[in-house]
């Protein structure tokens, strides 16, 4: 077995929900679809599997390596082989603990290569997990038990990251305010927003209070750009209109 230098990601989030509700949200297909992937399937047992999808070409299945109800759930991803032909295995673990009337969920992703050619992927994973744990807490505290409807678009772009970010910022699809700062998201019409997090050139996340506390997330990952609008309690016709407006806006701004 290769002694390969690795690094981990560890993020902790306090959630205003019971341990039972957090467990359901991270270990059932219905729960996961409300804050994480577009679609999910789970064989809920040690040695079972989890399948997650963010659209065609961005989906995968992984074996479950830990299943401790109410406490810990995790799977193992295979990221190819190293220079010695040994498999690169990356573990994703959710640790759940009731604490002081709330629930603390700790995400640990371990086994990521320490090599420099993994730096961009590592940074993207940190951004992604930070947002998704916010999304989990937002769903459970603001929209508990409500299904999510998505308007989304993900595509490859030949433009460099700086150019993409500048165009998105000029078009009102991202901004660079500090967390908690007011903003506006231009999807069809101007939607008042509150910044959740931002890292210029990498990601932008905001709450849209007047759109039933929906959440908008933009990510620049490698040569791909993703737009994800999570809505709860918004009428189907309005979500469809938002999808159409998002498609038109993205095509206009990035000249697809």
User: What are 130-156's pLDDT values in tens digits?
Assistant: 999 999 999 999 999 999 999 999 988
User: What pLDDT is attached to residue 256?
Assistant: 56
The sign of the torsion formed by the CA atoms of 34, 38, 44, 45 equals negative
Q: What is the mean pLDDT of residues 220-238?
A: 94
Residue 2 has pLDDT above 60, yes or no: no
Q: What pLDDT, in 10s, does the model give residues 173-186?
A: 999 999 999 999 99
| Burial class (CB within 10 angstroms; exposed 0-12, middle 13-18, buried 19+) of 28 | middle
Residue 9 has pLDDT above 90, yes or no: yes
Residues 6+ apart with CB under 8 A from 235: none
| Length of the chain in terms of residues written | 256
Query: Which stretch, 12-16, 117-121, 219-223, has highest mean pLDDT?
Result: 12-16
How does the average pLDDT of the chain come out, rounded?
Answer: 94
79 — pLDDT class (breaks 50, 70, 90): confident
């Amino acid at each position: 077995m290769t002694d390969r230098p690795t690094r981990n990601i560890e993020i902790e989030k306090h959630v205003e929900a019971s341990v039972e509700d957090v467990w359901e949200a991270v270990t059932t297909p219905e729960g996961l679809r409300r804050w994480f992937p577009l679609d999910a399937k789970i064989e809920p047992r040690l040695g079972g599997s989890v399948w997650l999808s963010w659209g065609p070409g961005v989906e995968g299945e992984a074996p479950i390596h830990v299943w401790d109800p109410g406490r810990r759930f995790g799977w193992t991803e295979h990221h190819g082989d190293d220079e010695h032909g040994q498999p690169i295995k990356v573990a994703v673990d959710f640790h759940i603990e009731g604490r002081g009337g709330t629930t603390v969920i700790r995400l640990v992703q371990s086994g990521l290569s320490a090599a420099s050619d993994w730096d961009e992927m590592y940074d993207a994973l940190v951004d992604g997990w930070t947002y998704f744990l916010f999304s989990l807490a937002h769903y459970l505290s603001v929209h508990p038990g409500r299904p999510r409807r998505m308007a989304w678009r993900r595509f490859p772009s030949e433009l460099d990251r700086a150019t993409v970010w500048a165009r998105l910022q000029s078009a009102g699809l991202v901004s660079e305010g500090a967390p908690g700062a007011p903003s506006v998201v231009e999807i069809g019409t101007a939607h008042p927003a509150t910044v959740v997090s931002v890292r210029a050139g990498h990601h932008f996340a905001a709450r849209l209070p007047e759109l039933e506390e929906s959440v908008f997330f933009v990510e620049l990952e490698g040569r791909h750009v993703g737009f994800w609008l999570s809505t709860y309690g918004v009428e189907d016709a309005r979500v469809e209109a938002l999808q159409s407006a998002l498609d038109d806006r993205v095509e206009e701004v990035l000249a697809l």
